[in-house]
Structure 1
Amino acid sequence: MQEAKLIDPSLIMLNVEATEKEEVITLMAKKLISEGYVKGSYLNAILEREKEYPTGLPTNEVGVAIPHTDIEHVIKPGIAVATLKNPVKFNAMGNPDEEVDVKLIFMLAVTEPKGQINLLKKLVSIFQNQQLLMELCDIKSKKECAKILNTVIDMA
């Protein structure tokens, strides 16, 4: 049996128009809920966690955010991905007073804490590749986006 990929095209949202982080977080969490990856409690949990532990990551060209929350809100592992038409401000991870203009969001639904640490390491390899981040922001196909990201995650 083939292992399911973490990033399914059904969890990808391209060129999203949003003006605030709460708006895009809500859209993405509702997508994870409707696709059966997370429980209904996930949305409030992720919004609350983002207030206390912000997830914006300043990168050179494309700001990235990785909102996530505790495993008890997750049914099965997956990653929702959104590219934004215009950047949205997220508070920076590790420095909540700093804001990051985010254009690419990876919303994590993980079922085991150790898996989350490994996944974050793999995602960091994506975040350090500016050319890849720029390519992802301009991508027009959900299937192509999922294929690229799953390949990079599998290789990392």
Structure 2
Amino acid sequence: MEKTFQFDTAVNQIKLEVKNSDEALKKISSLLYSFGYVKDTYSDAIIAREKLFPTGLPFEKCGVALPHTDCCHVNKPMIAICTLKTPVTFQNMGDASQPVSVKIIFMLAMKKSENQLQLLSELMENLQDNMLMENLLQTDSAKEITALMAGRITV
């Protein structure tokens, strides 16, 4: 039987208000830190990595960002899911010169680097599900976002 990733409602945010991508990364990192999922070095590391290796992805329903950083900054694996009240600009993962208007952030805190490729693959498959994306955008509850994603990640 495959292990199914567990999400924590406490680190999911709905309609977060931020001015830019750095502010979004700081706020979500801070939340992961406050619940013990990441180390105090995580926030700076994720912002630095995003500048070098952008994670914005344009999808049919909306832009998504998948920020992540080295496992050495993580205490326990978790994915914080955050919808934004208004989109912010991230750079495109495939072409850093192209901006992506991001409305949903999946911030990855992975403890084992060998799981990262499988996790990204599973997330990409889910992000192509237009009904799921629509539901994530429409929800007003962190608990509902957690329920929508439950059982979808098997890392």
TM-score, length of structure 1 as denominator length: 0.93
Name the residue aligned to 2:80: 80
Displacement of 1:151 after TM fit?
A: 2.3
Secondary structure, aligned partner of 1:96: coil
Counterpart position of 1:105: 105
- Structure 1 segments, 4+ long, off by >6 Å, are none
Over the matched positions of the two proteins, sequence identity in percent amounts to 39
| Residue type of the alignment partner of 2:6 | L
Q: CA deviation at 1:109?
A: 0.3
SS in 1 for 2:83: strand
Once the two structures are TM-superposed, the CA of residue 61 in structure 1 deviates from its matched residue by 1.8
State the partner residue of 1:124.
124
Query: C-alpha distance in 2, partners of 1:4/1:43?
Result: 26
For the Cα contact (< 8 Å) 2:4–2:151, is it kept in 1?
no
Letter in 1 for 2:98: E
SS of 1:152's equivalent in the other structure is: coil
Q: How does 1:20-35 map to 2 (within 5 A)?
A: 20-35=20-35
**How many residues of Structure 1 are paired with residues of Structure 2 in the alignment?**
153
Query: Could you tell me how far apart the structure 2 residues matched to 1:4 and 1:117 are?
Result: 16
Q: Which whole-Å deviations, capped at 9, do the CAs of 1:23-54 have from their partners, x for residues lacking one? A: 11000000000000000000000000000000
SS at match of 1:22: helix
With normalisation by structure 2, the TM-score equals 0.94
Q: How far off is 1:131 after superposition? A: 1.8
Q: Which secondary structure state, in structure 1, belongs to the residue aligned with residue 29 of structure 2?
A: helix
Unmatched 5+ stretches in structure 2: none
Deviation string, structure 1 residues 65-97 (Cα, Å, up to 9, x no partner): 000000000000000110001111100002100
| Contact residue 62 and residue 130 of structure 1 kept, 8 A | no
